[in-house]
């Protein structure tokens, strides 16, 4: 039962909460003890509130998941995790995490509460509303970034990064919807109502728009943001961003993946290498050039 509870809390997906570290890195305070420590604490709290949302989401979708070819193996629909245990854990996690979030920082607590409310609305209703569903996914990533801002007391954080995060999250969300349609085929609408309003050509068009916009926005950030080195060396990270997005497109279209971005990130070595090299290059530019 405990193993099932942990699986339902989805620790593999905690990697998404790593977006909270963007402000501390790009505000050039990565090596400052207090901002980094507070960001690390914020990361842990985001993981806990995310797990509460995952529990609620699985409780809401338990009947639909039993008809899904892969999700039916999850602890709740398979019966490994009792429903009442998941309910109690979700309530306790939410209450404790929100109290600790406000204790850490009032604005962080406010943003975390907003994140919880939006994700709760997504789990209960908005995930079945076409277009809004992927926009809510994008909002979740932006709020993760925003949650790190008050913990760092940013001075040089560029708003361009909010726009890029939004576009990147839309890309991941649209890729996930595409993978669900390919996997479920004619039964897609039985699992998620909004899938009935999507089609592969429509999703491919939106993905093309989002990818193009993301590359342009990030490129503009590297040489227009006022907090970056005046020698424009941040432009060295552009090839990594382009390759990373093209690699993800390759995995979606050629390999038929894209349903779980976190699993791809933990499994695909070229994508991992790209993220690491991009991060190292960005840190080198910000802190040593």
Under 8 Å between Cβ of 42 and 100? no
84-130 residue pLDDT tens: 898 999 999 999 999 999 999 999 999 999 999 999 999 888 888 88
Q: In angstroms, how far apart are the furthest CA atoms of the chain?
A: 59
Helix axes 200-224, 238-253, angle to 10 degrees: 170
- Give the DSSP per-residue string, 128-186: GSTTHHHHHHHHHHHHHHHHHHHHHT-SS--THHHHHHHHHHHHHHHHHHHHHHHHHGG
The C-alpha angle 228, 233, 235, rounded to 5 degrees, equals 95
222-247 residue pLDDT tens: 988 878 888 899 999 999 999 999 99
- Residue 24's φ and ψ, nearest 5 degrees, are -70, -30
As a whole number, mean pLDDT of residues 260-284 equals 88
| Residue 259: per-residue pLDDT | 62
How many CB atoms within 10 Å of residue 28?
Answer: 17
| Residue 111: per-residue pLDDT | 97
SS3 28: coil
């Amino acid at each position: 039962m405990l193993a099932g509870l942990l699986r339902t809390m989805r620790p593999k997906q905690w990697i998404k909460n790593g977006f909270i570290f963007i402000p501390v890195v790009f505000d050039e305070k990565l090596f400052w003890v207090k901002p980094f420590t507070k960001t690390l604490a914020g990361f842990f709290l985001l993981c806990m509130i995310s797990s509460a949302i995952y529990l609620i989401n699985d409780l809401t979708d338990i009947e639909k998941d039993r008809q899904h070819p892969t999700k039916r193996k999850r602890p709740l629909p398979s019966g490994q995790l009792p429903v009442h245990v998941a309910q109690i854990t979700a309530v306790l996690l939410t209450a404790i995490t929100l109290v600790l979030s406000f204790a850490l920082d009032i604005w962080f607590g406010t943003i975390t509460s907003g994140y919880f409310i939006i994700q709760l609305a997504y789990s209960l209703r908005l995930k079945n509303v076409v277009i809004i569903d992927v926009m809510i996914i994008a909002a979740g990533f932006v709020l993760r970034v925003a949650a790190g801002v008050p913990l760092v007391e940013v001075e040089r954080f560029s708003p361009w990064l909010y726009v890029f995060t939004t576009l990147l999250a839309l890309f991941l969300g649209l890729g996930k919807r595409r993978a669900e349609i390919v996997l479920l085929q004619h039964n897609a609408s039985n699992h998620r109502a909004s899938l009935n309003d999507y089609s592969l050509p429509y999703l491919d068009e939106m993905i093309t728009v989002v990818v193009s916009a993301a590359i342009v926005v990030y490129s503009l950030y590297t040489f227009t943001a006022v907090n970056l080195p005046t020698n424009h060396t941040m432009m060295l990270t552009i090839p990594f961003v382009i390759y990373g997005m093209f690699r993800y497109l390759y995995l979606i279209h050629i390999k038929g993946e894209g349903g779980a971005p976190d699993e791809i990130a933990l499994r695909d070595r070229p994508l991992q290498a790209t993220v690491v090299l991009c991060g190292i290059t960005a840190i080198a530019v910000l802190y040593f050039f």
